Amino acid sequence: MRVARFLGVVALAGFLCASFATDSRVLTMGRHDNFFMDDISIYDNPANLNVYPNMLLGDLGRYTLDPDLDDTTRFAGLARYNRDPQKPYFGGILSYSLNQSAEAGDQYPMLSIGAVLNRHDDMLDYMIPNSGSYAGTLPEQLGDSLELTMRDPLGKIDLLVGYALKNGGMIGVGGYMAFQKETENDKDIYESSLYKVNLGMNWPLTKTMDLEVSAGGGYMTGIGTITQYDTVGDLPDTLILPASTTQEIVADGDMSYRADVRLFSAMTVLNGDFVPHVGFELRNLAEDTKQVVDVNGGLGLNLNIDRGFFWAGVEGLYESVDSTENTTLERLGGRISFGIERNVVWDWLVWRTGGMKTIMYQKTGEKSGMWIQNPESDASNEDVLGFGIGLNIENRLKVDGIVAEDIFYTFSNLFSGNHHHLMTRISVTYSF
């Protein structure tokens, strides 16, 4: 018994002292939150600030394998390295009740103000060459003598305001900005900026039905350079000099638009909600010469189960990337997702798992096409399965972590060699 207890403590310690990052609960429960409510929804629909009043939130960053920094050879067990997680952020929501009467028994109407610093918006990946979503010249399109330079934006900040009416209706507005500009001799050389605005509402239609609607737009500029180098002279006196420089334009004041609608309809028999959802997004890039369209819609169900929560959903998906000349890429298909969380042994310990399977037919040009699916097991945000743990202390302090998918085969390195991480993300919230 003592040995089992010791191994349990060691395993739990291994889980908790690992790495940290964002959206941990959602990413372990089906990879997206289209059919259930979570605090990350405040960025798309700021009306939901009022659902999470007086809350601090933070994220210590994303920790994943980086082949440029981590030893992945057969001598990895002998490596000694350490590095910090990437893209941390922190912020909070402050709420003030405009109904101070003790007899009222409720806090509405209520005003909420939120600010989040350093959150990485997904649209920034269009301007970061090594992000996997870069919308400009790809590394394989560059020769040995060509170098691509883009400046990462900084100053990332979300500012949000929400208001809850006496009848329970909620409205909100939020903005996001990230920026960078570098000049030389009064001439702009590099620029990367993103400005977004979102409007939203969460409105009770009946006692058992809530309508959630949000819409927004974004303004993005991403300008870098491609430098060609020439070699001059012979070894050992060879010089490598820049011969010419051209602009790399990912976006130049391009506009993007999005809209999202979902309906939470309570089902008292099942102790949960039936949730239809539809979303649309249009992103203009490369001086309006390229358009990215993303449409999704489907039906979901979420249930309160014994000591836990379960959800599942099915959706249809359409994606396209259009240029001014022709449609270069088009995808049509669907996905099935689920997520489950439950208290295990103690009320403060939560275990989570979830999965997402996406299958789409991808058409390239007029005559080429093939079936594709989401990655099976690459530890990304899009692969099939995820697993996580959470700590819930008196429903105030909540710590949610994503467990590295190889953890059950290495058991916190007790029976195997050194590995690059035990977790990939941990998010923390505190309600006061």
Mean pLDDT of all residues in 186-209:
95
DSSP string, 225-250: EEEEEEEES-TTS-EEEEEEEEEEEE
Confidence at 414, pLDDT banded by 50, 70, 90: low
Answer whether residue 377 shows pLDDT above 90: no
Q: Helix (H, G, I), strand (E, B), or coil: what is residue 40?
A: helix
| pLDDT tens for each residue of 109-127 | 999 999 999 999 999 999 9
% of the chain beyond a pLDDT of 90:
64
Total domains present in the chain:
1
> At 409, is the secondary structure helix, strand, or coil?
helix
What pLDDT, on a 0 to 100 scale, did the predictor assign at position 26? 94
Lowest-pLDDT choice from 219-223, 260-264, 336-340, 409-413: 409-413
| Segment of 3-7, 10-14, 207-211 carrying the highest mean pLDDT | 207-211
Report how far Cα 319 is from the mean position of its chain's Cα atoms.
18
Residue 12 makes CB contacts below 8 A (sequence gap 6+) with none
Query: Which stretches does DSSP call E strand in 65-186?
Result: 89-97, 110-117, 146-149, 154-164, 170-184
Q: Which residue reads 């900026």 in tokens?
A: 193
What pLDDT shows up at residue 342?
A: 96
At residue 1 the predicted structure's pLDDT band, cuts being 50, 70 and 90, is very low
If one compares 424 and 48, the residue with the highest pLDDT of the two is 48
10 Å CB burial of residue 165 (0-12, 13-18, 19+) is: middle
- Rounded mean pLDDT, 160-164: 98
Which residue, among 262, 259, 328, has the nearest Cα to 292 in the 3D structure? 328
Which range marks the domain in which residue 284 is found? Answer: 2-431
Q: Check residue 245 and give its pLDDT.
A: 86
* Position 21 confidence tier, pLDDT thresholds 50, 70, 90: very low
* Better pLDDT: 258 or 326: 258
> Is pLDDT above 90 for 84?
no
